[in-house]
């Protein structure tokens, strides 16, 4: 509700900017053409993941991971981390925060393990693992447009190295800080006897829906990296699941499946940030972000994105700094800052707020002070390592290409 109110205020502010001439009306049309497919993809993808969760797909996977952990905390933590990484890369940052967090908490509680190292891995990976594909983060979708509609394969070729660093650094930090907790063991339970928690999960009673949802997700993942329009693939998957649920579980089809608050917030934010461009704010930011493509210059741009994300939010931070990128390499550095940098303040990314909301509803208390202190260590280390690997990978590719 608060997100919807903020979005409405932003839309009104953006409307005033357009009405007073601060934001030219022709630019409003350009903005709509750019973001409408992105918003359609976000809406359709949310419907897909919500219905898949309703069918019990994530709970089914989590039960198998608990079994495969063989009673070792480290093994279970790594398996859940892999699930968070894959969920983020292929289904988006918000999917991991919203749908995977309750699953992780339920599994750790049922095994008697401490929640914190598992919960931290979930939210940090939701942010930092979102560098590899356009679908992983809304900022990536915006960057894909800015890069001339680069293919998912081309995007991954640019971002694979920093993505690897952004995954490894947070996991290494958790493995070191929580090493005692992760050495613990838990009771092994046969997979066919693992029961979902009635208060925090959904019983997968309909095997047809469970199988259909799993098949739709399995087919959707390659479609999202095939080069087809993302909104088309996601909409087709959503349509199939909507028909299946209309036939077998109509009560699950509610208006809340569509993330109205998020869409309203994003629409208002796009409009307001576009208006601030005409007030000269990007030029002011440009004084701190550098201009070249050397490591230091790339790091300056990434740091600008990370700082802006933790001050306001990663989405406006990207939009304001986007005109300062100017090349694929600098765009990659900016994405590192706004995707892997928002680990300090709770509002740095929407995913972090959604993650905390899920924890609160499950009576899991997280100290924002402790979260910020950890983030002040992990965020800079992650950003520096990711920028370094970005520069090295691109440099090596250029050398190899020249030698051919």
Rg (CA), the chain: 21
Q: What is the pLDDT of residue 2?
A: 74
Contacts of 175 (CB under 8 A, 6+ apart): 74, 182
Among 160-174, 207-221, 271-285, 297-311, the range scoring the smallest mean pLDDT is: 271-285
Q: Report percent pLDDT > 90 for the chain.
A: 43
**In the structure, what pLDDT confidence band is assigned to residue 357 with cuts at 50, 70 and 90?**
confident
Which of 58-62, 91-95, 393-397 is predicted with the least confidence, judged by mean pLDDT? 393-397
Phi and psi at 101, nearest 5°, equal: -55, -50
pLDDT of residue 200: 42
CB 118 within 8 A of CB 77: yes
Dist CA 396 CA 63 (whole Å): 42
Q: Which class for 247: exposed (0-12), middle (13-18), buried (19 or more C-beta within 10 A)?
A: exposed
Q: Whole-angstrom Cα distance, residue 165 to residue 282?
A: 28
Residue 39 is predicted with a pLDDT of 85
State residue 301's pLDDT score.
95
Question: Beta-carbon neighbour count of residue 40 at 10 Å?
Answer: 17
Residue 204 has pLDDT above 50, yes or no: no
Q: What is the pLDDT of residue 79?
A: 94
Render pLDDT for 249-302 as a digit per residue (tens, 0 to 9).
989 898 888 888 888 888 888 888 888 877 777 667 767 777 888 899 999 999
Interval 99-112 mean pLDDT = 88
The residue-averaged pLDDT of 92-104 equals 88
Residue 87 has pLDDT above 70, yes or no: yes
If one counts every other C-beta atom within 10 angstroms of the C-beta of residue 360, the result is 11
The boundaries of the domain holding residue 110 are 2-403
Enumerate residues 6+ apart whose C-beta is below 8 A from 145.
Answer: 34, 38
- 401 or 227, greater pLDDT: 227
Lowest mean pLDDT among 96-100, 163-167, 174-178: 96-100
- The total number of structural domains that make up the chain: 1
Residue 199 pLDDT level (bands cut at 50, 70, 90): very low
Residue 53: per-residue pLDDT: 85
pLDDT of residue 400: 61
**185: β partners:** 72
pLDDT digits (tens, 9 = 90+) for 222-241: 888 787 888 899 899 999 99
Confidence at residue 174, expressed as pLDDT on a 0 to 100 scale: 97
Give the start-end residues of each E strand in 238-298: none
Please give the average per-residue pLDDT across 125-133, as a whole number: 96
pLDDT at 205: 64
Give the whole-angstrom CA distance, residue 45 versus residue 340: 22
Q: Please write the tens of the pLDDT for every residue from 8-51.
A: 888 898 888 888 888 888 888 888 888 888 888 888 988 998 89
User: What Å distances lie between residue 47 and 201, 217, 257, 282, CA to CA?
Assistant: 18, 12, 5, 35
Question: Rounded mean pLDDT of 122-138?
Answer: 95
Question: In this model, does residue 180 exceed pLDDT 70?
Answer: yes
Question: Span 98-121, mean pLDDT?
Answer: 90
Residue pair 44/237 in contact by the 8 Å Cβ criterion: yes
Token pair of 75, please?
A: 């093994």
Measure Cα distances from 132 to 93, 340, 344, 390 in Å: 11, 11, 22, 12
- The first and second tokens of residue 101, run together, are 């967090």
- CB–CB of 266/7 below 8 Å? yes
pLDDT at 388: 96
What pTM was computed for the model? 0.85
């Amino acid at each position: 509700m608060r997100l919807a109110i903020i979005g409405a205020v932003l839309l009104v502010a953006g409307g005033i900017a357009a009405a007073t001439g601060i934001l030219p009306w022709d630019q409003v049309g350009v903005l709509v053409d750019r973001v409408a497919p992105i918003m359609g993809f976000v809406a359709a993808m949310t419907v897909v993941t919500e219905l898949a969760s309703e069918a019990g797909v994530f709970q089914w996977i989590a039960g198998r991971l608990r079994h495969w952990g063989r009673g070792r905390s480290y093994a279970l933590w790594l398996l859940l981390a892999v699930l968070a990484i894959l969920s983020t890369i292929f289904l988006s940052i918000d999917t991991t925060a919203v749908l995977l967090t309750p699953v992780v908490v339920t599994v750790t509680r049922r095994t008697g393990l401490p929640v914190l190292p598992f919960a931290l891995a979930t939210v940090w990976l939701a942010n930092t693992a979102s560098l590899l594909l356009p679908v992983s983060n809304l900022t990536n979708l915006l960057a894909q447009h800015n890069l001339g509609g680069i293919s998912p394969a081309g995007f991954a070729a640019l971002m694979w190295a920093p993505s690897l660093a952004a995954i490894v650094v947070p996991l290494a930090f958790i493995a070191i800080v929580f090493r005692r907790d992760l050495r613990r063991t838990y009771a092994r339970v046969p997979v066919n006897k693992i029961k979902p928690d009635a208060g925090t999960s959904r019983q997968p009673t309909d095997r047809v829906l469970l199988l259909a949802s799993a098949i739709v997700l399995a087919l959707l993942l390659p479609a999202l990296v095939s080069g087809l329009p993302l909104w088309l693939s996601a909409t087709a998957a959503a349509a199939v699941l909507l028909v299946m649920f209309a036939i077998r579980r109509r009560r699950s089809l509610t208006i809340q499946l569509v993330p109205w608050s998020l869409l309203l917030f994003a629409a208002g934010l796009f409009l307001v940030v576009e208006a601030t461009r005409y007030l000269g704010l990007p030029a002011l930011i440009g004084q701190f972000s550098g201009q070249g493509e050397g490591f230091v210059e790339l790091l300056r741009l990434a740091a600008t994105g990370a700082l802006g994300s933790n001050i306001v939010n990663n989405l406006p931070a990207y939009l304001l700094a986007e005109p300062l990128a100017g090349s694929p390499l600098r765009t990659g550095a900016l994405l590192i800052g706004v995707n892997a940098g928002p680990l300090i303040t709770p509002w740095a990314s929407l995913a972090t707020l959604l993650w905390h909301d899920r924890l609160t509803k499950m009576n899991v208390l997280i100290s924002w002070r402790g979260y910020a202190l950890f983030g002040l260590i992990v965020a800079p280390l992650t950003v520096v390592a990711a920028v370094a690997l970005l520069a090295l990978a691109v440099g090596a590719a250029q050398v190899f290409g020249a030698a051919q």
